[in-house]
Structure formats: structure tokens, C-alpha cells
Amino acid sequence: MIDSLPDNFGEQRGRPYRIVAVCLGNICRSPIAEVVLRDRIASAGLGRRVVVESAGTGGWHVGKPADHRAQAVLGAHGYDTEHAARQFDPAWFAEVDLIVGMDYNNVLDVRGMAPEQEAAVRVRILRSFDPALMHLPEDDPQLEVPDPYYDDAAAFGEVLAMIEDAVDGVVDHVRLELS
């Protein structure tokens, strides 16, 4: 494990490391990923150096809270539930270091917004960071976090478990990026 970063890291780098979790509408999967990732980033002592946000590729739910089932599963597991949906803005590529999509449609949509190839490579599928799945090729369907929107509350619990399994790998990736 890599040691903690120096307290003056933000000044050395010029800005915080920025991560955006992306799904379709920003009310189910990506808000869950944002909250869990922010929690793990803080637990790793990186909270002052890393900003975690989420967005959707579509704008249907902009300004709305997370789906009530996402809020319920997060609250039941001790996570924060405050959220307002946003739509991904291609201008963010100028300041975003890592974008984690929940499924391949999200990844392809966001990569398609990238101004150049250098920016597009910063878009990854979230579960590719799961240590148990890292051996899979990046296009393997097992790496997708399924959209629970049209499913029951239990599906939100499954999504949370998938995300929790992957975010420690994201934290390790961020530590390496910042070293």
C-alpha cells in the first residue's frame, strides 16, 4: 500500500484529482458509486485531495434526487443519501482525471464526447477496478453494473455490492496516479 500523500499535495498539483461516476440518468447507479467512492476516498485519507462527483449521459432527471430505492439502500448501509442529478458536460474533460461508467453504453457515450483520444482513455468501466474481475478483458459483459431502475429494491442492493467491490480498486488506482 502506498503511504499517504503530503498535506500540501493540492498545492503541488494545482488542483484536486477529480473523478466522475456516470450512468444513464444519474439517479440510480452513479449516485450510489459517487457516495461509496467518496466514503472510501475519505477513509483512505484522500478526501482533501480528491473530488468525487456523478452525472448521467441523459438529462431527464437533472435536479432530481436519487431514486428512492437508491436512497434507501445507501441509508440502510450507513451512507449519505443527499444527491441532485446532473448531466455530463463534455467541457468537464478539461478537469476530470477519471470517469467511471457503469455499463458499456455509458462508457461509449462519454468516450464519444471526448475532445481527443487522450481524454477518451480516461473513461473506464467501473468494475474493471474490482480485484476479482481485473483479469477480464475490458469489454466483458460481467464488468457492467446493471441498471436497477425497472427492477425491485433487491436489485439496488446487488448494485451496491458490485460497486463496493470495485471502489477499493479505484482508490488504489488514484493513489498510484497521485504518486
Catalytic residues, by residue number, are 23, 29, 147
Task: Measure the CA–CA gap between 107 and 23, rounded to whole angstroms.
Answer: 9
Round to the nearest angstrom and report the end-to-end CA distance of the chain.
12
DSSP state of 59: -
- Yes or no: say if 155 and 148 are a contact pair by the CB < 8 Å rule: yes
Identify the bridge partners of residue 124 per DSSP, sorted by sequence position.
Answer: 100
Task: Measure the CA–CA gap between 37 and 124, rounded to whole angstroms.
Answer: 15
Q: Which amino acid is at 72?
A: A
